[in-house]
Structure 1
């Protein structure tokens, strides 16, 4: 059977494109190597709680069109992301705001906070930051850097901050108001009933094959579709012929606990280097649930190796140059479109993924 489009990957990018293609009368087949749809936004129910299987996904956007588009598929609650950071026995609000500074220095006013930060920056006198540590110190001063940035960043990237490029922290958002809302976006929330239901609705009436590896499938069905939308790793498509693009991966330890409330917040970051995990997610707080049990996930950042899930591209100079070379190869491929987080080797927020898929639909369909 011949299709207009073979879509490789049933994550948000592939599913939005598939939905738009079907709406325009195209014949679509979606394949996915996993045993479930929805890619990394997949949620499943444990103890009546929607568990984010691949890490916390909080939808936020300032793009009203994208917000309205997503609201076709689910009703969103009014969850606001307000993470907490724990350093040794100290607890701080994130993002960096007056609640953070008040706790750190026992002060009350924005003027006092600015004076302390400015004096610490002046004391260090870093003119031309050579690495992430120097960049962060020149933006945040010593106290914020040592307690809230250094350990967390080193765990996240698996490298000392002195070995990381300065551009990773181009700027640090400081708020001199008592505001713990992590995002500045107007529209925020979590879909009631989980993300998987959104993708189910997007793919309604579309043929989907799970547990299906693209390279094997296409050998058996070389002419199955006129065009292919490939949302997997761009270097894997070319069999790593130019070398392997680097990623950071995450290992999750998920536990069901016999208590109704473990940490009192959905997201708690552990910023001390010697604590092995970067953060703990307590999933029930995304939907304000009150079950007798709770589900938590500890996140451990690790170096990506083949066979693991790639999460964060390491967008340093070496990898960016390698990606450009793969892009050149991609341009030579007839009837193959690369898209999504892995196809374009960049970390996208969900609203940007939806926008990119809709933009592609507008050009392509």
Structure 2
């Protein structure tokens, strides 16, 4: 008998298991994949730590979260400075003075602001009804057409005119020559990869891989007093209110034996509609690698269907209302704790997952303080 059955060996489940063990609780962690660490799993391939499920850059303004994760690993000083490739021309992201100079030849922030304002006014959009109109009303037509439209339509698999405006509530526009994508105080990549963090969290805890909760539900539910569930909440309730929708991703990874530096940057986004992938990741640049070879991953967005890996929740009105019904059921559970992006139907950054897991721990073990 275990105190907790933790479904999912990703960040939320592993933080909870680590904290529960510290409090003398016995946990069993299961995962349907053949490895721990969920989507932050990194695999060392020929001396390069490969982010197997897309680029993960840790960033936070919360010193408590930063200190917490640093107890498990040492971080390097990596700064996320992605580049956009639009039909062979390169632009800095997020949108900043380097971007505006490349687009229009402007030199001063006032010139850039005037250019954007001119395009906003020319669009005539006052009350944006969809994502396209929302984006143009924020940054003008040039930035939208070259750096937003194609990438967004590939990401969501829909025309920007058919996507709700709230998806882009705001866009990072910076009138400085600063290519740092995040504004957070703390940022970096674990020197030995993310898997090491989860490995240390789960040290001394029973872990069962290649174990699908839903194929072994009766046996597993009888093993513990409580369940921490990080899988799909609609699946947990047998799709009672219908399935929630997601976008999925496909990854194409190649080792380039004869190339030491493929693109000169860790992340290059391809923002035209014709290129089928959204970005190319060159993993060695996350860690300032100088190996004689390199490894790249092309990332292709895909429609999600049952059996695929769900990555991005589609938080439109229909799905939001459906999730609320599942959430109401979850809130009535006394012996099940739901956490993580799939159980909460929300896209989380890593620091947010850790924060949410620590809140769940506090609520579970110190209810009077929560």
TM-score (norm 2): 0.97
Confirm whether residue 20 of structure 1 aligns to residue 32 of structure 2: no
- Give the superposition deviation at 1:107: 1.4
Distance in 1 (alpha carbons) for counterparts of 2:168 and 2:331: 31
Instruction: Provide structure 1 residue ranges, at least 5 long, that are not aligned to the other structure.
Output: none
Distance in 2 (alpha carbons) for counterparts of 1:114 and 1:222: 58
State the match for 2:368 in structure 1. Answer: none
Aligned 8 A contact 1:5 1:229 in 2: yes
Provide Cα deviations, 1:278-307, integer angstroms capped at 9, x if missing partner. Answer: 000000000000111100000000111111
- Give the superposition deviation at 1:46: 1.1
SS of equivalent residue, structure 2 residue 276: coil
5 Å-filtered alignment, 1:76-95, equals 76-95=75-94
Distance in 2 (alpha carbons) for counterparts of 1:69 and 1:265: 29
- Give the superposition deviation at 1:92: 0.2
Provide Cα deviations, 1:135-162, integer angstroms capped at 9, x if missing partner. Answer: 1111111100000000000000000000
SS of equivalent residue, structure 1 residue 343: coil
State the match for 2:9 in structure 1. Answer: 10
State the match for 2:309 in structure 1. Answer: 309
5 Å-filtered alignment, 1:230-249, equals 230-249=229-248
SS of equivalent residue, structure 2 residue 25: coil
Distance in 2 (alpha carbons) for counterparts of 1:48 and 1:106: 42
State the match for 2:345 in structure 1. Answer: 345
5 Å-filtered alignment, 1:131-170, equals 131-170=130-169
Provide Cα deviations, 1:294-352, integer angstroms capped at 9, x if missing partner. Answer: 00000000111111111000000000000001112223334011111101000000000
SS of equivalent residue, structure 2 residue 309: coil
Confirm whether residue 197 of structure 1 aligns to residue 201 of structure 2: no
State the match for 2:323 in structure 1. Answer: 323
- Give the superposition deviation at 1:222: 3.6
State the match for 1:49 in structure 2. Answer: 48
SS of equivalent residue, structure 2 residue 91: strand
Higher mean displacement: 221-230 or 126-135: 221-230
- Give the superposition deviation at 1:238: 1.0
- Give the superposition deviation at 1:89: 2.3
Length, aligned pairs only:
364
Structure 2 CA distance for partners of 1:123 and 1:221, relative to 1, 3 Å: closer
- Give the superposition deviation at 1:239: 1.5
Aligned 8 A contact 1:10 1:30 in 2: yes
State the match for 1:72 in structure 2. Answer: 71
Provide Cα deviations, 1:228-278, integer angstroms capped at 9, x if missing partner. Answer: 000000011112121110000110000011210000000000000000000
Confirm whether residue 225 of structure 1 aligns to residue 231 of structure 2: no
State the match for 2:126 in structure 1. Answer: 127
State the match for 2:170 in structure 1. Answer: 171
Instruction: Provide structure 2 residue ranges, at least 5 long, that are not aligned to the other structure.
Output: 366-370
Provide Cα deviations, 1:199-219, integer angstroms capped at 9, x if missing partner. Answer: 000000000000111123331
Higher mean displacement: 306-315 or 332-341: 332-341
State the match for 1:298 in structure 2. Answer: 298
Distance in 2 (alpha carbons) for counterparts of 1:244 and 1:253: 28
SS of equivalent residue, structure 2 residue 329: helix
SS of equivalent residue, structure 2 residue 64: helix
Distance in 1 (alpha carbons) for counterparts of 2:193 and 2:44: 9
State the match for 1:274 in structure 2. Answer: 274
State the match for 1:252 in structure 2. Answer: 251
- Give the superposition deviation at 1:173: 1.2
Provide Cα deviations, 1:36-91, integer angstroms capped at 9, x if missing partner. Answer: 00000000011210000000000000000000000000000000000000111211
- Give the superposition deviation at 1:223: 2.1
State the match for 1:113 in structure 2. Answer: 112
Distance in 2 (alpha carbons) for counterparts of 1:222 and 1:105: 61
Structure 2 CA distance for partners of 1:128 and 1:35, relative to 1, 3 Å: same
Provide Cα deviations, 1:15-43, integer angstroms capped at 9, x if missing partner. Answer: 00000000010111101111000000000
Aligned 8 A contact 1:86 1:92 in 2: yes
SS of equivalent residue, structure 2 residue 154: helix
SS of equivalent residue, structure 2 residue 226: strand
Q: Which runs of 4+ in 1 moved over 4 A?
A: none
